[in-house]
Amino acid sequence: MKFNRFTTAIIIAWLPSMALACGHCLEDRIAAVYDHALMAKTIALKQKMLYFAWDGPVSRDETTRQRILRQSALASGIAVQSVRVSIEPATMAMAYDPLKTSPKKIESTLELILSKEKIFLMPLPAQN
């Protein structure tokens, strides 16, 4: 099979991008906060997981990660010990009981709490 120069150039330019995880795709973000033991416990308790991307004019460091963890504990309806926060990519995950609350309520509460820290959320679509 013969390739012309244009096709070869396209393939050469495209191949490196397949090997890099930039943190922007859904899979990269969820993998950053995924915890298999937590997922097994969540399923056993008939709970669900919520995933959010976060952003804001804050430092991407351990202090910020700890602040997000502490502030998230204030949101009712989530399993406090289930909160996972990644700095890069900026993602967070938590378990919740769908019989006691809804993803929208948790999102609204977290947005209110974290907006005081200048941290804003974007829900990530994830099925569990």
Q: What is the pTM of this model?
A: 0.77
Q: Which of 20, 22, 35, 27 is nearest to 85 (CA)?
A: 35
The CA distance from 103 to 52, in Å, is 11
Q: What confidence category does residue 9 fall into, taking pLDDT thresholds of 50, 70 and 90?
A: low
Which of residues 9 and 56 earns the better pLDDT score? Answer: 56
| Residues 28 and 98: beta-carbon distance below 8 Å | no
Fold held by 22-124: Alpha-Beta Plaits (3.30.70)
Q: What's the confidence (pLDDT) of residue 117?
A: 87
Neighbours of 33 (CB within 10 A): 20
Please give the DSSP secondary-structure letter assigned to residue 85. Answer: E
Q: What's the pLDDT tens digit per position in 33-65?
A: 999 999 999 999 999 999 999 999 999 999 999
With both helix axes pointing from N to C terminus, report the angle between 103-115 and 62-72 in degrees, rounded to the nearest 10: 130
Tens digit of pLDDT for each residue in 53-100? 999 999 999 999 999 999 998 888 899 899 999 999 999 999 999 999
- CB-count exposure of residue 18 (10 Å: 0-12, 13-18, 19+): exposed
